[in-house]
Amino acid sequence: MSKGCPGWIDGTLYPDVDPPTGLCNLADRIDFLARLCSAWDFGLLPREDTIAEVRRDEWREAVEECRLLTSPTYHLLREWHGLVFRLK
């Protein structure tokens, strides 16, 4: 975890860049969810505080917009947020 990074952000999800010091906008949250889902789909389980954070209502829009349709973890996140999948 980098200095200034919230404790629930797992720095190992950012092997290509320094971990963020916060996820203040929708794009940053979507990027985090994509990284989280990819890792979890391959068996790298998130920490309990990370799960608690992404289950908060503030993440609903990012979960809706992420659209990782082939990710089992993404569908779990959708279920946690009460989102019904609709084809456009």
pLDDT of amino acid 33: 97
C-alpha closest to that of 70 among 41, 43, 27: 41
> With contact defined as beta carbons under 8 Å apart, do 55 and 80 qualify?
yes
Mean pLDDT of 37-42: 97
The length of the chain, given as a count of residues: 88
Q: Where are the alpha helices (DSSP H) in 5-56?
A: 26-41, 48-54
pLDDT of residue 87: 62
Q: What value does the mean pLDDT take over residues 72-85?
A: 92
